[in-house]
Amino acid sequence: MRPPIQTVSTGCVVAIVGFFSSFPIVLKGLDAVGATPGQAASGLMFAALAMGVTGMVLALWTRQPISVAWSTPGVALLAITPLAGAGFSEAVFGFIVAGLLTLFAGLWRPLAHLVTNIPPALAQAMLAGVLVSLCIVPFQALAETPWTAGPIVATWFAAGLVNRLIAVPAAVIAALLVVGVATGFEIPLPDGAFTAPVLMRPEPSLAAIVNIGLPLFLVTMATQNVPGIAVLRSYGYTPAPRPLLAAVGGASVLTAPFGAPATCLAAITAAMCANPDSHPDPAKRYWSAVVAGAVYCLFGLFAAMITAVASAAPPLVLGTLAGVALIGVFMNSANAALSDDANREAAAITFLTTASGMALLGLSAAVWGLVLGGAVYAIKSRMRRS
């Protein structure tokens, strides 16, 4: 059976938006936890392959427009995570832990119930706290390197006035031109067109579990998987959540040894696949997700070339690109965190603790944000009930 032409065009747009609006964040996150350029290229490739293959399988199996993504909030979390003692090998173990927890959430109902009952205001506040240090980089770069940061920020803003969906892809094009001018258009590219897999040996540690695995799992579940299911339901689709969680968790476990962070259900691109613009017939919209998955896989094969261009970029270019890509996510998470009067104080404490970057007793700021914010939330809730 051939996909309708309309779903082919939609699927291509979905893949372009999904990949090029967030791959700089993936590379920045992998670099922050110690990945070499070769390991980052492998991680980017397998992250794209994981969301491509998993998305195609789930869409064809359920005949519903289930879109899969890498966890943009999760890799943003990595970008502010202190480098582990064993470097990237330890981070890879954290990726595996996060994937296993997602898999267990799909197989074991009590874990899924526990995670989905984290107060949304606290989860969004933690995400906003993670993002704030990344979102200020473009404006710091405007002061330090205006001739490289300026064109990227200006292009992002101007394109966003036309259509928010094209803002980040347009900024990517501007960044490519900036890199080209800075290098005299002589960027050292890899010998082969396709990316070479790099298999990592995970280094188990408690720090990797507490500071990478657990926060990556929580932020991905609360800000990607749960909203992704909600988006599908809003368009009239009712997939069973647990098999979907088991699928993305299993994909994460399989690809983590090659450097890929968490695979998850998509929300924004799921809406693009599920809405009437995808196809007038709801029964045929799943083809948009299938086509998007195939294009994701194609992009992933050329991850080494993308990583090479990123490595040749002048200072702060990649950070500027990642920062503007995350501003929309930051706005949404900050608004969701602070809009509820009853939980605003707990959310503010979660946000400020996470944004502080504090590390205490071997626990990262994101973990402490949830702990302290959760304590305030529990006390305030009990006082309201008494």
Percent of the chain whose pLDDT exceeds 90: 31
Split at pLDDT 50, 70, 90, the class of 239 is confident
Q: For residues 60 and 162, which has the higher predicted lDDT (pLDDT)?
A: 60
Q: What is the number of structural domains in the chain?
A: 1
pLDDT at 84: 62
Domain that holds residue 275: 5-385
| pLDDT band, very low/low/confident/very high, at 369 (cuts 50, 70, 90) | confident
User: What pLDDT band is residue 378 in, cutting at 50, 70 and 90?
Assistant: confident
Average pLDDT over residues 110-129: 76
Q: What is the rounded distance in angstroms from the CA atom of residue 223 to the CA atom of residue 235?
A: 19
Pairing of strands 263-265, 68-70: antiparallel
Question: What's the distance, Cα to Cα, between the start and end of the chain in Å?
Answer: 61
Residue 107 or 1, more confident: 107
Least confident range from 34-43, 66-75, 268-277: namely 268-277
Percent of the chain with pLDDT over 70: 95
Q: Binning pLDDT at 50, 70 and 90, where does residue 340 land?
A: confident
Q: Give the predicted TM-score (pTM) of the model.
A: 0.79
Q: Return d(Cα 301, Cα 329) in angstroms, integer.
A: 27
Instruction: Let me know how long the chain is.
Output: 386
Confidence of residue 269 (pLDDT cuts 50, 70, 90): confident
Among 52-66, 244-258, 288-302, 348-362, the range scoring the smallest mean pLDDT is 348-362
Span 73-90, average pLDDT: 80
pLDDT for residue 16: 80
Confidence of residue 248 (pLDDT cuts 50, 70, 90): very high
- Among 109, 145, 140, 126, smallest CA distance to 223 is for 126
Q: Which of 223, 220, 243, 218 is nearest to 66 (CA)?
A: 243
- In this structure, of 113-117, 283-287, 327-331, the range with the lowest mean pLDDT score is 113-117
Between 311 and 40, where is the model more confident? 40
Please check whether residue 231 is in contact with residue 271, taking contact to mean a CB–CB distance below 8 angstroms. Answer: yes
The distance of Cα 27 from the centroid of its chain, to the nearest Å, equals 11
Residue 122 has pLDDT above 90, yes or no: no
Confidence of residue 62 (pLDDT cuts 50, 70, 90): very high
Per-residue model confidence (pLDDT) at position 78: 86
Query: 120: Cβ–Cβ under 8 A, 6 or more apart, which residues?
Result: 222, 336
Q: Which of 142-146, 245-249, 279-283 has the highest mean pLDDT?
A: 245-249
